[in-house]
Structures are given as C-alpha cells and as structure tokens.
Amino acid sequence: MFAIEVEYLLGRAVATDSTRRDLAEWPPHPQRLFSALVDAYGDDPDDADAADALRWLESLAPPQLYVSLGEEAFYRRVTKYFVPVNDKLPKRLSAAPLVEQRKRPERYFPAVMPCNPRVQFLWPDATPDARIERALTTLMQRVHYLGHSSSLVRVAPARVPLSPSLVPASQGELLLRVPGPGRFDRLRQVYELRREDSTVQPPRGAEVWYRRAGAQRPCGPFGSGIVVAIQDGPPVDLVATAPVIDRLRDALLAQLSADIPEILSGHQESGAPALQPHLALLPLANVGYPYSDGTLKGFAAVLPRHADERVRTRLLLALQSVRELLLGKLGVLKLDVLPQGETPRLASLRFDARYRRPARVWVSVTPVALSRHPKPNKGLTEADIIAQDVERLGLPRPRDIGVGMVSAVRGAPRAMEFMRGNLKQLEGRLLRHVRIEFDEKVEGPLLVGAGRFMGFGLCLPLEGRER
C-alpha cells in the first residue's frame, strides 16, 4: 500500500474545473497532484532520485480516492470578478497607461468546502523502495498549494490509509484526469517550450472513469466511443444529421469491405435488421453551452458493451481510413480520428465526459424517432411509447417523460427542422424532443428510439452539480 494525503489547511479547495471556468474541480484530479509534484521537482531539477520517483509514480495504475462527496462537499456560489491585467512597462515614465485603458477580463474563483479537509490518493498494490519513498516525501514537503495559490495544503505520506470513496471503473460517474507513462518528461518539455512561447499548453492527458466504492448503476447496451473530428470543410448544421451520418456509414462500410460482422453492419446475413445492439454513429455538435450554434464538430462511433477488442480494432482501422466525407454541392469534410485515451481540447468532442456520465435527468440533442404511432384513444401516448423504448434498452422505467418539439439543450434545433434524408429508420416516424427523468442515476450513453443507431435520440445529461 502507498498513499498520499492532501489536507486543505483553510478548509476550502480553490481550483477551476477543466471544462467550465465557473465550476470548481472536485475531487482534485490525480493529474493535478502529479503536476504539483513535478512543479516541486523544479526546485531541484538535478535530483535524479526525484526524477526516478516521479517516473515510478506515473507508471502506477490510477489511484483510489478517499474524499468527501455529495452533501459532504459544499460548493461556494460563484461570482464574476473583473480584474485589471498588469501594466506593461512603458518606454517613458510619462507614457504610463491610464487606468481606464486597462483590460479587465472576467475571472472566477470557484471553491469547494468539504466536510473533511483531507483527501487521500491510494495505490493498494504499490510499495516503493526506500529511495523512491524518501524522494517522494521530499517532493510532497515542497507542495504548498493545490489549484489556486489561495488553496493552501499540506501534502504528506498517509500513515493511516482510509477506506476509498471512489475507485477506478470501466464506467462510472466521474471522469478524472490521471498521469500516465511519459507524463513527467512531457511536462518538462512543455516547460522548456513555454520559455519561448507562453501560449504552449500541456496535453490534457488520459482520463479514467471513477465510481463510488460499492456502487453499481443501471446502464444501457452502449459503451465507449471512438471520436472522429471534423478538421476542415464547410459548416454543417445538426439538422443535417440524417444525410451526413448516412454518408459516413456508407464510407465506413466501404472500408470494412467483405465479411462484415453483424455488430458492425447492423444486418444479419439474410439482410434483415440485426436483432442485437450494434454499431451506432452519432453526431457531436456545438450544443449545451451559452453561445452554442448547433454546428457539427465531429462524430462518435459507439459499440455495444459486449463488443470484443478485435471488433473495436477493426472499427478503428476502418475509421482511420475514412479521411474525407463527400457532401455533394456542400463540399468535402476532412476527418481525423482522435487519439484513444486522450481528452479532446474541443469540449464538443468529449464524448465520454459529456454523454456517458450518470444522471437522473436526460434531455435530447437530436429528436427521438418514435418506434410506434401513439393511440391516445386506447391510452397509448407518446410518453408511453418512449418509456417502452427506454425499458427495451434494459433500463428502469422513467418516473417522468416530457415530450415536445423544442429541445432543452442550447443550440439543438427543433424536431421539425431535422432532415430525414433516405434513412429507412425515419420513414413515417414521429420526431420528438424529450426530457427523461429516472428515480436513480443512469449511466450513459443514452440513445433512444428507432433512429438510435443513426444519430437520432441522442440524449445529454442535464447540466448540474450531480456529484
């Protein structure tokens, strides 16, 4: 067992979430702690033992965490601050800039007050030798804050490890950034590059799902996605989901060539539709943010949870071969498969972080294609049909369903605006935006309705601090 304890000396943690400036990061991500230790190494960059210790630490599996969660962590209300930037040194003293001419960018200082100010990072299967442990202890002693400089901490080896609150999982409720092999050297390279160009930023690195210890949540048939980014081409609106996804599917099947398994083709050998869950192609658009415009930024190719690694590898290789998507008179979209395990810089492309996290309330980005026509006279409403579609996914029956033509997601077009293209899955189907509420949190991705394999019925967890 090896464990590191972080104690917030003022009883609050001040750190900004990597996805939203007005949200506090909680719990502290393992990568944040690792970066702080690398910064401490900078005090004595000739310390070979410290370098070896950091390389040993980054080689470990993601740690477990003991941390105050839920009602045991109180989020401070965030207020905008407008802070003048520092004046540049004038060439002449008489040419000092006026206060009124200073830029005043928006600043946020989000904070969390946990009931227990101690956080522990736990590696139950790791035991450092004496040299590595001494070097890590020295680095810990040099770390004085974590996050903002006002977030003062004491960092030390945890002599009495506590039972973990969060554990790594293949699917969970929190996506945390973690260090990995090579992270130490990469951070040093970025430090040297920033001497010449201060705009250079380190890559986000790997992210790992965490769940509460002992918790198991309901989940649907779909798993993680391979993200394909649109690198160049004409702007395409989300309303064109049907024809664009259809073109993408055709291009993908062309690369898969012969002997395509049912899980990828979506068809049996007879040509009949597959009876089991199969590959789903989803649009990733600029939606859900204050100034979202609904333009497509990329796609996600999502396999069922039971898909084996051979199928996933074959899908990945085929996607990497689809470099262009021809859209006729509109032009050509240039595509690029993003590296596996790294978090995209563009928030709209963070499929796992946005669409897979557990939530009680889900709202549609693309409208649901109802699998049946409602019969109000016989007591079969649109909400009833959607509830049945949800249950067929293996999920609990929703406690409440709202149905309408307008999405609750900013930037998502109205249901009537979506093109149907030549998709057979949409022929004669009613398209409706939905709000689905469960009694308990459900793990995503949540794809509902008859068009779920072709980008329709894609739902987003309702924004909120459901931590």
- Model pLDDT for residues 303-351, shown as the tens digit of each residue: 998 888 899 999 999 999 999 999 988 899 999 999 877 778 899 999 9
Report d(CA 447, CA 453) in Å as an integer.
8
Which residues does residue 226 pair with via DSSP β-bridges, in sequence order?
301
Structure-token pair, residue 448: 């509902």
Q: What is the pLDDT of residue 272?
A: 84
Element (H, E) at 331: none
Q: Say what the pTM is.
A: 0.69
Structure-token pair, residue 133: 């442990």
For residues 433 and 405, the answer to whether their CB atoms sit within 8 Å is yes
pLDDT digits (tens, 9 = 90+) for 339-349: 877 778 899 99
100 has a pLDDT exceeding 80: no
82-101: string of b/e by CB count within 10 Å (b at 16+)?
eeeeeeeeeeeeeeeeeeee
Structure-token pair, residue 104: 């005043």
**Overall average pLDDT of the 283-292 stretch:** 94
Q: What is the pLDDT of residue 339?
A: 87
Which residues does residue 361 pair with via DSSP β-bridges, in sequence order?
437
22 has a pLDDT exceeding 80: no
402 has a pLDDT exceeding 70: yes
Residue extents of the structural domains in the chain: 2-212, 222-461
Residue 176 confidence class, pLDDT cut points 50, 70, 90: very high
**Overall average pLDDT of the 97-101 stretch:** 53
Q: What is the pLDDT of residue 76?
A: 65
pLDDT digits (tens, 9 = 90+) for 102-119: 565 676 778 899 888 999
Cβ atoms within 10 Å of 161's Cβ, excluding its own: 19
pLDDT digits (tens, 9 = 90+) for 111-146: 899 888 999 999 999 999 999 999 999 999 999 999
Length of the chain (residues): 467
Report d(CA 310, CA 339) in Å as an integer.
18
Whole-Å CA distances, 457 to 350, 406, 446: 18, 13, 8
466 has a pLDDT exceeding 50: no
Q: What is the pLDDT of residue 158?
A: 93
**Overall average pLDDT of the 275-303 stretch:** 94
Edge-first strand order for the sheet with 222-232 is 280-285, 296-304, 222-232, 332-337, 324-326
For residues 30 and 57, the answer to whether their CB atoms sit within 8 Å is no
377 has a pLDDT exceeding 90: no
Whole-Å CA distances, 47 to 52, 136, 175, 314, 442: 9, 11, 33, 45, 48
Which of 10-14, 85-89, 158-162, 206-210 bottoms out in mean pLDDT, i.e. has the lowest? 85-89
Q: What is the pLDDT of residue 259?
A: 85
Nearest to 33 by CA among 59, 61, 58: 58
Residue 274 confidence class, pLDDT cut points 50, 70, 90: confident
Q: What is the pLDDT of residue 92?
A: 56
Residue 20 confidence class, pLDDT cut points 50, 70, 90: confident
381 has a pLDDT exceeding 70: yes
Q: What is the pLDDT of residue 252?
A: 95
Residue 465 confidence class, pLDDT cut points 50, 70, 90: very low
**Overall average pLDDT of the 444-457 stretch:** 95
Which of 131-145, 338-352, 371-385, 449-463 bottoms out in mean pLDDT, i.e. has the lowest? 338-352
Mean pLDDT, the chain, rounded, equals: 89
Nearest to 305 by CA among 192, 220, 410: 220
Q: What is the pLDDT of residue 275?
A: 79
Q: Give 271: exposed, middle or buried? Use CB within 10 Å, 0-12, 13-18, 19+.
A: exposed
Q: Where are the alpha helices (DSSP H) in 11-97?
A: 30-41, 48-58
Which of 35-44, 212-221, 256-265, 364-373 bottoms out in mean pLDDT, i.e. has the lowest? 212-221
Report d(CA 315, CA 256) in Å as an integer.
8
The fraction of the chain above a pLDDT of 90, given in percent, is 64
Structure-token pair, residue 91: 């060439």
Where does 2-212 sit in CATH, by number? 3.30.70
For residues 279 and 263, the answer to whether their CB atoms sit within 8 Å is yes
Residue 202 confidence class, pLDDT cut points 50, 70, 90: confident
16 has a pLDDT exceeding 90: no
93 has a pLDDT exceeding 60: no
Q: What is the pLDDT of residue 110?
A: 84
246 has a pLDDT exceeding 60: yes
The fraction of the chain above a pLDDT of 70, given in percent, is 91
Which residues does residue 114 pair with via DSSP β-bridges, in sequence order?
73
Residue 266, CA atoms < 13 Å, CB-side half-sphere: 14
Longest dimension (CA), the chain: 85
Residue 77 confidence class, pLDDT cut points 50, 70, 90: low
